[in-house]
Amino acid sequence: MEDQIVPFSEVTKFHGHVCPGSAIGYRVAEIAIEKLISSRAVDEELVAIVENDSCSVDAIQVVTGCTMGKGNLIFRDYGKQAYTFMNRKTGEAVRISLKNSMESIDPEFAQAREKAFSENATDGERKEFERIKNNLSEKVLHAPADDIFKVENVEMEFPEEARLFNSVRCSRCGELVAEHRARVENGKLVCIPCFHGYSRN
SS3 of the chain: CHHHCCCHHHHHHHHCCCCHHHHHHHHHHHHHHHHCCCCCCCCCCEEEEECCCCCHHHHHHHHHCCCCCCCCEEECCCCCCEEEEEECCCCEEEEEEECCCHHHHCHHHHHHHHHHCCCCCCHHHHHHHHHHHHHHHHHHHHCCHHHHEEEEEECCCCCCCCCCCCEEECCCCCCEEEHHHCEEECCEEECCCCCCCCCCC
Q: Classify 2-154 by CATH class.
A: alpha beta
The confidence score (pLDDT) of residue 50 equals: 98
Give the architecture-level CATH label for domain 164-201. 2-Layer Sandwich (3.30)
Q: Where in the chain is the domain with CATH 3.30.1330.130?
A: 2-154
The residues pairing with 152 across neighbouring beta strands, listed in sequence order, are 95
Q: How far apart are the first and last CA of the chain?
A: 52
Is the per-residue pLDDT at 2 higher than 70?
no
State the average pLDDT over residues 6-28.
97
Predicted pLDDT of residue 39? 86
State phi, psi for 49 to the nearest 5 degrees: -115, 115
Confidence category of residue 201, pLDDT binned at 50, 70, 90: low
76 has a pLDDT exceeding 80: yes
- Count Cα atoms within 13 angstroms, Cβ side, for 103: 5
Q: Name the pTM for this structure.
A: 0.85
Residues of the chain with CATH 3.30.60.20: 164-201
